[in-house]
Homo-oligomer: A and B are copies of this chain.
């Protein structure tokens, strides 16, 4: 396939795969897409460095990207201790009580994962991700994209990325966001519709994508939210996007090993395999900003009578950080804390990444043929 973005990155298919799993990201790049490693879970820059080294060794020289979380505006910055003091005790009590009610065991003895994925939401930690990624970009020239999940990255990050031959992408849930990104010097706008997993706005992909395409003029747009098939990739290109950005769909890739428990699908994957497109909910409980999550007993507890409102970012992250860690090592598919888009309804099998991509491309080709027939 060929679009402006396949040519820009020298990839075979305009399929951009966001995933926290290096195994999946590497498989996407090897299969001809562009794997984008989510960095928010790395509290320790050294760990990210090792993982990027592994990515280099397992991608046959193909390009890949990184995704960092740098909020454009954060309510506060500071050490974990400073922020901790801002969390109301009632909120802590609710979380503890809910975990007990749901039968989520404490963290295993000796496993200090309390802060996993929490500090990554802080600006200072995100900056360390950028530094490590840029070092790798200079060293091997494979990191070709840095994406920011929350707003435009700071000016100097954009400048630094460009110096190192790394394109900058940013997620947008509205044309307003998209225009801000382009003004800030962002190269690629990722327009994410309401149906997407994680942070989303209110406008759906069908309406948002062409609106953003028209608003940003010549800047390329990646279509996110609701993509998990070749037909949806065809819809994205029909609507004017130059490629697709997918997240949820890779969670049931055979290569996805995070949170895995023993042989076979992990607890999270079991939950995803069972979910329909109606089993998600958009809520502030994951991060403090509206994000679409898999609907489980955990999300339902926050919607019940008497549950507290979510705190603003980054306090909500800190509040639920340990809970997420406890849930992620427990084994009840009905108690899962996981961002997921409505496309989860199509996550019905554990499939290797290469097969997923081959199927998408075949279905894309069929869609185009069908459309040609409509004009014959």
Spell out A's residues near B (CB within 8 Å): 1-3, 14, 174, 193-195, 201-208, 210-211, 225-227, 229, 231-232, 234-240, 277-278, 342-343, 345-346, 365, 367-368, 370-376
Contact = CB atoms under 8 A, between A and B. Distances in A.
A316 to B, nearest CB: 24
A205 B231 CA distance: 13
A239 to B, nearest CB: 5
Given A174-B278, A345-B211, A376-B2, A370 B237 contact: yes
Interface residues of A, dominant DSSP: helix
A-B pairs with lowest CB-CB distance, top 6 = A206-B226, A234-B238, A235-B235, A195-B204, A204-B204, A207-B342
A227 B350 CA distance: 33
Nearest to A281: B202
A240 B277 CA distance: 18
B2 A373 contact: yes
15 contacts: A2-B374, A2-B375, A3-B374, A174-B278, A194-B194, A195-B206, A202-B278, A203-B278, A203-B342, A204-B206, A206-B225, A207-B343, A234-B371, A235-B239, A368-B371
Contact of A238 (B205, B231, B375): B231
A240 to B, nearest CB: 6
Contacts of A371: 234, 237-238, 367-368, 371
B376 A372 contact: no
Contacts of A373: 2
A348 to B, nearest CB: 11
Contacts of A238: 231, 234-235, 238, 367-368, 370-371
Contacts of A365: 375
Contacts of A375: 1-2, 365, 368
Contacts of A374: 1-3, 14, 237, 368
A343 B205 CA distance: 11
Contact of A232 (B206, B343, B345): B206
Contacts of A278: 174, 201-203
B370 A372 contact: no
Contacts of A236: 235
A34 to B, nearest CB: 16
B195 A207 contact: yes
Contacts of A14: 374
Contacts of A211: 277, 345-346
Contacts of A2: 373-376
A234 to B, nearest CB: 4
Given A203-B277, A210-B229, A232-B239, 4 more contacts: A1-B375, A194-B195, A231-B239, A368-B374
B1 A342 contact: no
A374 B239 CA distance: 13
Nearest to A230: B238
A201 B280 CA distance: 13
A124 B182 CA distance: 56
Given A194-B194, A235-B238, A374-B1, A208 B367 contact: no
Given A174-B278, A235-B238, A237-B371, A193 B206 contact: yes
Contact of A204 (B342, B368, B372): B342
